[in-house]
Amino acid sequence: MSICSHKVRMTLAEKGLPYISLEVRIAHQENYNPVYANLRLASDVARNTKLASNYSGSSGVQDTGFDAWVVPTLVDVEKNSIIADSRLICLYLCQVLSLHGVDRDELLPSDIETEVLAQLDKVDSFPHVALFYGPNPDGDRRPSLFREASAGAHERKIAALKATWESVRGENAELDAAYAAKISKESAASAFVTNPDRMRTTIANTDQLVGELGKILAASGGTWCFGDRFTLADIFWIVTLFRLEFLGYGWLWQERSDRAHISRYAEAGYARNSMKYAVRHWPGSCPYSEWIAKWLPTK
């Protein structure tokens, strides 16, 4: 269900890199296991980034700080490296690893690297998390079962964090700080997603970001953000549009004639084999939503 995991799996699929996937069941709150948090806290980004203790609605480390309790996390056992942020993981896969030992690849071409990275930053600023947990005060189109399940989610998270913290409190100052920051962040999140004005602003910001994608595509002259070259920018945007559709926000482009090219872009991206493998058909990745039903596996 994690959009950040979607980005990483799609990048792995595009590159054809072998890997082992170990599921951390967020619905069972396995991500609150202190062993998992300690793994993430051993990453470079954790050592060089402040802990996330407030809430913006985004999941990007650059925007909100480091969260020790989220997914995904990449462990490169050959290089003894831990990478704990989806953007950094995807860049690592392109810049450091290659199935054939090549320094660069087509997902991050050197001649347009700056432009691709700018799009990754833009997508990372998306208020994905707020749209996921917070209702649209002017008409909530999220799947009905999901609306019910997300109600009170932050309070349940806080209770689970406090329960797991109790068993290890005082043993590790860094871990204690990560617990305290996460509880503060979830408290702020609860207030944020239940505030109609903040959610309206969040939706307006989302509309603006979608409009910026439209401008990129209009100037592209090809199928993807940069002509006919499929890059990391497209991976990030495609999984974002798919998540927005899942939540019932496809109207941001589907109901506007001046954004018809975004619909064509989304359709081309959803049909890509890497998207099918990494997102649409990945077990447990996409609960049912009427808005994306045609893209889900048939029973």
Query: pLDDT tens-digit profile of 156-214?
Result: 999 999 999 999 999 999 999 999 999 999 999 999 999 999 999 999 999 999 999 99
- Is a pLDDT exceeding 70 seen at residue 299? no
Helices 86-95 and 113-124 meet at what angle, rounded to 10? 160
pLDDT in tens, 86-139: 999 999 999 876 544 544 578 999 999 999 999 999 999 999 999 999 999 999
3-state DSSP assignment of residue 76: strand
- Is the C-alpha dihedral spanning 148, 289, 239, 213 positive or negative? negative
Task: Give residue 99's pLDDT.
Answer: 47
For 131-154, write each residue's pLDDT tens digit: 999 999 999 999 998 898 899 999
Rg of the chain over all Cα atoms, to the nearest angstrom: 19
- With 60 as the cut, is the pLDDT of residue 5 above it? yes
Directed axis angle between helix 196-220 and helix 173-193, to 10°? 90
The predicted pLDDT at position 98 comes to 55
Q: φ, ψ for residue 224 (rounded to 5)?
A: -115, -175
**Could you read off the pLDDT of 227-247 as tens digits, one per residue?**
999 999 999 999 999 999 999
When the pLDDT of each residue in the chain is averaged and rounded to a whole number, the result is 94
pTM over 0.75: yes
Cis before 72 (ω within 30)? yes
C-alpha–C-alpha distance, residues 71 and 40, integer Å: 9
Q: Which two tokens stand for residue 163?
A: 């329960």
Q: Which pLDDT value is given to residue 45?
A: 96
CA distance 214 to 6: 22
If pLDDT is split at 50, 70 and 90, which confidence band does 60 have? confident
User: So what's the pLDDT on residue 157?
Assistant: 96
